[in-house]
């Protein structure tokens, strides 16, 4: 087996085991249920594309394993969310769910969780709340992009194919959570130093990873390379319409650009759009911006001769976000779109 085949084979094996934290799997129910999840607020370091080790905090699945972003939660309207958050760190933290719709409590929160303490949320999901949400820490303005964030998907009751009642339908769904990292901030938090008043990002991630071009260390490794990460990569055949739940935890606005197909643009910052536009680039607002769109997996309309398979990128059309360490091009927020 040559190196390329080996990387493909090992990638496929890992994709299977990681699927539980990647592509959202969902079986609708006719009855409500209680969805329970425990997160551990922890910390650790991760190597950036230029080899620099950077400090992060996360809502981990275990006491010590960093999870960037947190493992997503999926539930349906009518369910009760029962979330337990254990703070393993020395600072006070919390866990809030941003932007549940009007008529709900505007912000579901554990309240402050002191060092070593446990916080809980017990929240009945009302009808009409179907959509995509970010949960995060807002004890400080920066804990969110230090890594304490994740996605919550609320499905319409009984549906596995719609974002909201009457929406265009999809077959698969996943989160794309974008973040921007200024190591000066992360280092200051790690060292308990003075928090910088400026923010100059050097690294850009999708679901906690940045991409690696061919030949770079980690290329093709789904635990390192965002192009191969099953949590991010779009892989489908013609007709495998995929819902993209796009969240921006970072401080930079972005231009999300897909190749081969335009996206069907369903929502903007939590509001259902009055008509569905087809766009190849979508403006993603900074600081909790969010978009839902469907990647239709239609035959690429501009290909000549016509094709139904191939490999294409999703990248951000703001050029800074394709770099790392201030200039390493193609080490930024990208992933692969694979027509199989
Ligand atoms: Cu492009």
Q: Distance, CA 283 to ligand 1 centroid (Å)?
A: 13
Q: Distance, CA 246 to ligand 1 centroid (Å)?
A: 17
Q: Distance, CA 319 to ligand 1 centroid (Å)?
A: 10
What does the pLDDT read at residue 327? 84
Q: Distance, CA 312 to ligand 1 centroid (Å)?
A: 9
Q: Distance, CA 233 to ligand 1 centroid (Å)?
A: 15
| Fold (topology level) of 174-339 | Immunoglobulin-like (2.60.40)
What does the pLDDT read at residue 20? 42
Q: Distance, CA 119 to ligand 1 centroid (Å)?
A: 42
Q: Distance, CA 256 to ligand 1 centroid (Å)?
A: 8
Contact 227, 312 (CB under 8 A): no
Q: Distance, CA 257 to ligand 1 centroid (Å)?
A: 5
| pTM for this predicted structure | 0.92
What does the pLDDT read at residue 103? 44
Q: Distance, CA 259 to ligand 1 centroid (Å)?
A: 6
Q: Distance, CA 5 to ligand 1 centroid (Å)?
A: 27
Low-confidence spans in the chain with pLDDT less than 50: 1-21, 102-106
What does the pLDDT read at residue 15? 34
Q: Distance, CA 314 to ligand 1 centroid (Å)?
A: 7
Residue 286 CA to residue 179 CA, distance in Å, equals 9
Q: Distance, CA 260 to ligand 1 centroid (Å)?
A: 10
CATH 2.60.40.420 region(s) of the chain? 30-159, 174-339
CATH (residue range 30-159): 2.60.40.420
């Amino acid at each position: 087996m040559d190196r390329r085949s080996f990387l493909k084979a090992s990638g496929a094996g890992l994709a299977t085991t990681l699927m539980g934290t990647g592509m959202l799997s969902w079986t609708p129910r006719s009855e409500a249920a209680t969805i329970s999840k425990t997160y551990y607020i922890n910390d650790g370091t991760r190597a950036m594309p230029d080899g620099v080790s950077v400090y992060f905090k996360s809502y981990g699945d275990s006491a010590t394993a960093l999870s960037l972003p947190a493992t997503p939660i999926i539930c349906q309207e009518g369910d009760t969310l029962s979330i337990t958050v254990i703070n393993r760190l020395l600072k006070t933290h919390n866990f809030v769910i941003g932007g549940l719709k009007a008529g709900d409590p505007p912000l579901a929160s554990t309240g402050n969780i002191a060092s070593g303490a446990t916080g809980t949320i017990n929240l009945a999901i009302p009808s009409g709340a179907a959509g995509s949400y970010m949960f995060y820490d807002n004890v400080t303005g920066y804990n969110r992009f230090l890594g304490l964030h994740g996605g919550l998907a609320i499905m319409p009751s009984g549906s596995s194919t719609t974002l909201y009642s009457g929406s265009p339908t999809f077959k698969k769904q996943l989160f794309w959570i974008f973040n921007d990292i200024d190591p000066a901030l992360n280092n200051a938090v790690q060292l308990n130093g003075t928090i910088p008043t400026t923010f100059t990002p050097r690294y850009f991630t999708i679901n906690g990873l940045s991409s690696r071009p061919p030949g770079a260390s980690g290329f093709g490794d789904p635990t390192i390379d965002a192009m191969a990460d099953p949590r991010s990569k779009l892989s489908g055949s013609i007709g495998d319409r995929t819902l993209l739940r796009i969240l921006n935890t970072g401080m930079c606005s972005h231009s999300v650009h897909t190749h081969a197909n335009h996206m069907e643009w369903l929502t903007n910052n939590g509001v259902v759009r009055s008509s569905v536009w087809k766009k190849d680039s979508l403006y993603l607002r900074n600081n909790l911006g969010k978009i839902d769109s469907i990647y239709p997996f239609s035959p690429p309309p501009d290909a000549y001769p016509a094709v139904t398979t191939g490999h294409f990128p999703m990248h951000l059309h703001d050029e800074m976000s394709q770099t790392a360490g201030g200039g390493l091009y193609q080490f930024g927020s990208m992933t692969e779109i694979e027509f199989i």
